[in-house]
Amino acid sequence: MQRRAVLTLLPAALAGCAMPEAPEAPEAPEARGGQAPDAGRADVAARIVELERDILALSGAEGIAPEDAARAARIAVTYPLELRARYGVTDPPLVHNTKVNLGFRDRGLCWHWADDLQARLAQEGFQTLDLHRAIANATSLRIDHSTVVISARGAAMEQGLVLDPWRQGGVLFWAPVLQDPQYTWERRARVMARRR
């Protein structure tokens, strides 16, 4: 009887966000944040500078204000570290998902990270940047995955950078949307419309 109950609850416990299968090709050189750093001060500062540079590189004809890029990079790197502590993350993402789904933790699924990071970034009122939401695996049998995308103002989501704090348990991963080595992203609005 207990075994049947465990087997019945297992799919619900694992639901939430999916880690992709290991990519067949090596990680694209354009992907950033692929290695989980030690999150020491020097490392965090270096990652902020690197992300700021990558955000500025998104600049279209009108450009991205350096102060917008600097604030976005600082928040995108440091806020997920705060969320990690708030969510009580002590395990790899899928283990933490199981804890959330079983009620041992309140938050920490991919969409929690995406919601909270997007809300924090939106507080800044960026003049030259847009925020988008994206979902991967929405049409497969695998569990879907949510994230935030940042782009130059007026640019399509596909021209932006994925900002994914879930993938490494609070250490920000980022990559150009179309060059993410693990996920193929779709606009969340399109996925939700299809589901309706």
What is the block-wise mean pLDDT of the chain (196 residues), using blocks of 10 residues?
44 52 38 54 93 91 88 98 96 93 94 97 97 86 85 95 97 96 84 70
Report d(CA 59, CA 100) in Å as an integer: 38
Q: What is the pLDDT of residue 2?
A: 47
Q: What is the pLDDT of residue 141?
A: 58
Q: What is the pLDDT of residue 76?
A: 98
Which positions ≥6 away from 184 have C-beta within 8 Å? 136
Sign of the alpha-carbon dihedral angle for 37, 38, 44, 45: negative
**The pTM is what?**
0.81
Q: What is the pLDDT of residue 128?
A: 96
Q: What is the pLDDT of residue 125?
A: 97
What are the tens digits of pLDDT across the range 165-196?
999 999 999 999 999 999 988 887 776 777 67
Q: Are 55 and 70 in contact (CB under 8 A)?
A: no
Q: How many CB atoms within 10 Å of residue 84? A: 20
The domain ranges of the chain are 36-195
Report d(CA 108, CA 69) in Å as an integer: 26
Residue among 116, 119, 127, 112 nearest 69 (CA): 127
